[in-house]
Amino acid sequence: MARQFDVPVFYRSPIISQVKESRRLTDPRKRDLSPSVLDFGPVRFKIARHFGFCYGVENAIEIAYRALEENPDRRIFLLSEMIHNPRVNEDLQRRGIRFLRTTRGEQLIPFDELTPEDIVIIPAFGTSVEVAGALQERGVDTLSYDTTCPFVEKVWKKSRQIGQQGFTVVVHGKRYHEETRATISHARQAAPVVVVRNLEEAEDLARVIRGDVSRGFFFVRFGGRYSEGFDPDRDLQRIGVVNQTTMLATETQAIADLLRQAMIARYGAEAIDAHFATTSDTLCYATNENQNATLALIEDGGDLAIVVGGYNSSNTSHLVELCEQRMPTYFIKGAEEILSRYRIRHYDYHAKVERESTGWFPDRRPVDIVLTAGASCPDALLDEVIREIVGWFDDARPVEEALAPFAEAS
């Protein structure tokens, strides 16, 4: 999948792009997860080895802007946010694209207002079988500008395969996230489906599998998160685990291991292949790379972490979750949230609210800032963060000097 996408130049960045290109040339096999360090003297940025636009996001952006270029005289709609980044979505809206639905599926523009002449872009998360059918019934082409991530489609394919073999699909995901709603819809065409959000819920599902609790417990604990007609006595005898691709890969693996052990406890190790399907090949490589790079970044240490991305971005929130276990962490959508060296506005993803913090920037020199971003975040936004903070220091080295080690390497 090593192809170059035609992404608008204003999403690129002079600083971050040079760092990434240098690392690509010096470490083509991506084995070195150590952070890149931009040393400006009074402040140093430790930048994750992997972050920012992934294959699926770049593919989606290329298709969306191509749709605009190829159809200047037609109405163009996005089914919902193409990716979870406000900068990207706002730019598309400024260019005339309108959203048909919210990220939670509430209708903004009735499908009945669409005509066969309209263009509808399917977002990177994909869409449900039912929504695609409703659009096709109205004569809308859903294939020409379908930006569904190929790794999401891989999860759908695996769900169908194991479903046809008689396995129930257990989805590790957020029940109302667009991708999970789409995966449920595609999976239930071939199999019963149940969604678990985390290890705690997986343990409760394991209790049902082992027979430690009643079937009634299942219906209460997992209300609204199983497919119609689900029978825990029948449908939890054979299972396979797939994931929302933006979830923590380590957590997906832990959930799969937990449920596999529950099956062994119930049916014996010798019979495990008949009761548990292997699905580890559905984990998204980009999500896994970003999370592993973030772990290496945290291990290298820092005074604080800044994570840049959309506040409704699942993969970004997981990077925040990793960072905040080790250091003060600020989740921001862009440099405009850095109000001054004394005040910052940031997102508390646990409470789902924006907060303002004072005294956030350490009064020491040098300050080491851990910096990373979600898979839907343009590199240009990190450039803006770096320039904002470096601008506070009259004695800071110029950008060209801080980039010199990377210029030499590339």
What tens digit of pLDDT does each residue of 92-117 get?
A: 999 999 999 998 889 999 999 999 99
> pLDDT tens across 336-387, in order?
999 999 999 999 999 999 999 999 999 999 999 999 999 899 999 999 999 9
The whole-angstrom separation of Cα 259 and Cα 245 is 19
**144, part of any domain:** no
Verify that 90 and 191 share a domain, yes or no. no
pLDDT band at residue 409 under the 50/70/90 scheme: low
Verify that 294 and 400 share a domain, yes or no. yes
The pTM (predicted TM-score) of the whole model is 0.87
The whole-angstrom separation of Cα 235 and Cα 168 is 6
Q: Which of 110, 137, 164 is the last residue of a domain?
A: 137
**145, part of any domain:** no
Verify that 382 and 305 share a domain, yes or no. yes
| Number of domain units in the chain | 3
Verify that 267 and 311 share a domain, yes or no. no
Alpha carbon of 173 to those of 2, 11, 203, 244: distances in Å? 28, 29, 15, 5
Verify that 180 and 299 share a domain, yes or no. no
Verify that 321 and 390 share a domain, yes or no. yes
Verify that 42 and 99 share a domain, yes or no. no
Is the confidence at residue 236, as pLDDT, over 90? Answer: yes
Q: Residue 284's pLDDT is what?
A: 81
**1, part of any domain:** no
Q: Residue 33's pLDDT is what?
A: 95
Q: Which of 283, 314, 329 is the last residue of a domain?
A: 283
Verify that 108 and 206 share a domain, yes or no. no
SS (H, E, C) 83-114: CCCHHHHHHHHHCCCEECECCCCCECCCHHHC
Verify that 15 and 94 share a domain, yes or no. no
Q: Residue 287's pLDDT is what?
A: 83
On average, the pLDDT of the chain sits at 94
**3, part of any domain:** no
Among 58, 178, 179, 337, the active-site one is 179
Verify that 178 and 204 share a domain, yes or no. yes
**96, part of any domain:** yes
Is the confidence at residue 1, as pLDDT, over 70? Answer: no
What is the domain-level CATH number for residue 318? 3.40.1010.20
**142, part of any domain:** no
**302, part of any domain:** yes
Domain of residue 237 covers 150-283
| Helix or strand run (H / E) with residue 341 | none
Active site (annotated) includes residue 179: yes
Start-to-end C-alpha separation, the chain: 22
Would you list the DSSP string of 325-338? TTS-EEEESSGGGB
Is the confidence at residue 410, as pLDDT, over 60? Answer: no
> pLDDT tens across 137-174, in order?
999 999 999 999 999 999 999 999 999 999 999 999 99
pLDDT band at residue 332 under the 50/70/90 scheme: very high
What is the domain-level CATH number for residue 72? 3.40.50.11270
Verify that 318 and 204 share a domain, yes or no. no
Verify that 309 and 396 share a domain, yes or no. yes
pLDDT band at residue 65 under the 50/70/90 scheme: very high
Q: Which of 228, 263, 283 is the last residue of a domain?
A: 283
Helices (H) and strands (E) in the chain, counts: 15, 14
99 phi, psi to nearest 5 deg: -90, 135
**2, part of any domain:** no
